[in-house]
Amino acid sequence: MARILFVMTGADHWTLADGTRHPTGFWAEEAAVPYEAFKDAGHEVVVATPGGVVPTVDRASLAPEVNGGPEGAARIEKVLDSAAELQRPVRLEDVDLAGYDAVFYPGGHGPMEDLAVNADSGRLLTAALESGKPLGVVCHAPAAMLAAAREEGGSLFAGYRLTGFSNAEEAQAGFADRAKWLLQDRLVELGADYVEGEPWAPNVVTDRNLVTGQNPASSAPLAAELLKALG
């Protein structure tokens, strides 16, 4: 049995370019689907958030139209309701990577607000990448990579093949012209080799121990890759 750390946003809003607070949090599918996959495989999940706050689900991510219909939405909600770990997160500030076999970051717009500038998360990402342990990051969660800087300057993720929520998807979601910055642009600026797939289609990119997914549809295949890496 492996012990898998879920690093999740503690934010319940995303500040847009005009100062408006857009209600958000984590995206339901991106937490529920990997959680279910890991638990079904017999692994332990521990949730960590900044300050140990209980993570907020983006209510929009529970809608039937983004979950393949009412049945899909009900199933995702049932998984989240049964996930006791979500109600008792540990403080991200207190996490010691040595106690975990893999690290996973689900997305949603929340990480754009807090994890993108969280130094504790940045240090954890650095340690995870350098440890060789499986590190999975999906959708908007690669925003956390912005806080993982080398001591001598530059990004630890420079030169890595990776993906994340694309500019095209942000435009189709209606936020591209309202956001302070776009994730794809920032990942390219870090020096990463950004791999763009078709909007909303599964796209998982593996480079060394880093596994990234572009969008919600990528969460299931990304979880499968992490399970494979855990053996």
* Predicted confidence pLDDT, tens digits, the chain (231 residues): 999 999 999 999 999 999 999 999 999 999 999 999 999 999 999 999 999 999 999 999 999 999 999 999 999 999 999 999 999 999 999 999 999 999 999 999 999 999 999 999 999 999 999 999 999 999 999 999 999 988 888 899 999 999 999 999 999 999 999 999 999 999 999 999 999 999 999 999 999 999 999 999 999 999 999 999 998
Q: Output the pTM of the full model.
A: 0.98
At 97 the pLDDT is 98
Q: Within its chain, how far is the Cα of 22 from the centroid?
A: 18
pLDDT value at residue 158: 96
Residue 230: enclosing H or E segment and its boundaries? helix 219-230
* Predicted pLDDT of residue 190: 96
CA distance 79 to 85: 11
Taking the C-alpha atoms of residue 230 and residue 225, their distance in angstroms, rounded to an integer, is: 9
The pLDDT score that the predictor gives to residue 150 is: 86
pLDDT at 45: 98
pLDDT at 151: 82
Q: Give pLDDT, residue 153.
A: 86
Query: Do 27 and 61 contact (CB within 8 A), yes or no?
Result: yes
C-alpha distance from residue 125 to each of 15, 102, 113, 134, 140 (Å): 24, 11, 17, 11, 15
Is residue 145 within 8 Å of residue 158, measured between CB atoms? no
CB 183 within 8 A of CB 112: yes
The three-state secondary structure class of 107 is coil
Question: Three-state DSSP class for 147?
Answer: helix
